[in-house]
Structure 1
């Protein structure tokens, strides 16, 4: 996936991995001096194409909803907070950068 210190989208610097599960990872990232959270979706290759499309669609839907909702307790997501990132030869990673809410 990614490594500490790695830069994504020319401005998100990966600081540390804070969560890892079957469908991806959660990272703390630095966005020009502001600490944020980045969720990375990596769909396992062993699931069906139809399921892959559904998982990606749900992740994109989460990004859209969080971009438009501005409620206490929900992390803020900038319009450019959702992106697809890949390096040569690697599977594309669907990424969602959001506000870090302390204590959560």
Structure 2
């Protein structure tokens, strides 16, 4: 069984360079004679970071559109075709209130 000393446990370092992101996590190996060695595992997480940044940019862009555009009707549907979100602009354009529509199938209207 591997025991990680308390002073090392939970220690992790995220290193950012110009070209890549690395995650450094320590691993302590304790031998049967109770002597131990400290090793580290270095993992390249560049692809994960790039994907997360793309998602954040897309979410920010969509949030900006959703909150600032008022002359279009924005709403979202779940997998069953029920209204999940009803933007105030659609209330203004159609007269349907969010309280009446959210959770209902769109083909009802």
Per the TM superposition, whether the score is higher than 0.5 is no
Normalising by structure 2, we get a TM-score of: 0.27
Higher relative CO (Cα under 8 Å, sequence separation at least 6) belongs to 1
- Write 1 or 2 for the structure with the bigger share of helix: 2
Normalising by structure 1, we get a TM-score of: 0.28
Rg larger for: 2
